[in-house]
Amino acid sequence: SEGYARPHGTFSLIVEMPYYDEERVNDRSVTEVSRREALLKGLDEADAFGEWMTSRLEKLQPHLHLNTAVRSASETFLKMSVGWRDAERKYVLSTDDTLRKATQAELFSAQLGRHFYQMLILGMFARMIADEVASGNSEPLVAEMDGEVTAYLEEQGAAFESQLHYRVLPIRGLVGVQVCAGLATAEYLRDNAPK
């Protein structure tokens, strides 16, 4: 990580790029919904999602045989997300800034932005279970959960996508931005290195 490498005279470059573009992301028009209301609704939905995932993981854990990176990531995200949501909820309830009306962009972020990340976690969870089945895990609960989680992933994905009016950003352009950022950083380091 950047924090670990810093004491060793290194540098870090992080170039995060969006996967898609949605016009509401940049819409600054004001809605009738307070930021607090929008954020709390999103947190409530995230809590329900987390509870759904955690209840299934707890049932499955004694029957899982593989210790994969996907399993580790799924378990870690589920554990950590509870703390993140609790901290965010405390912030939302404690700051007056959330009392103002939300913009369309803020409403989109609160109501749909987090679904994108939930879909990533749900996809990893589904893959973790599918890997168990593919490896020969014949536990009936694993097979049952494989079907249930896959169906839920498809259902949630379709529901999420039906709410979006997005365009997928071409990967070539995204990678081009990242490459150019890397080249510009390399040039800067070359020209400004201590002598």
Specify if 93 maps to a domain: yes
Specify if 114 maps to a domain: yes
Specify if 162 maps to a domain: yes
Pull the structure tokens for residue 186. Answer: 């390399």
- What 3-state DSSP class applies to 34? strand
Specify if 12 maps to a domain: no
Specify if 36 maps to a domain: yes
Tens digit of each residue's pLDDT (9 = 90 or more) over 103-149: 999 999 998 888 888 999 999 999 999 999 999 999 999 999 999 99
Q: Chain-centre distance of CA 21, in angstroms?
A: 16
Cα separation of 47 and 133, whole Å?
Answer: 28
Tens digit of each residue's pLDDT (9 = 90 or more) over 55-86: 999 999 999 999 999 999 999 999 898 889 99
Number of domains observed in the structure of the chain: 1
Cα separation of 70 and 47, whole Å?
Answer: 22
**Could you list the residue range(s) of the whole structural domain that residue 136 is in?**
29-173
Specify if 99 maps to a domain: yes
Residue type, 16: E
Specify if 82 maps to a domain: yes
Structural contact between residues 128 and 74, judged by C-beta atoms closer than 8 angstroms: yes
Specify if 189 maps to a domain: no
**Its pTM surpasses 0.75:** yes
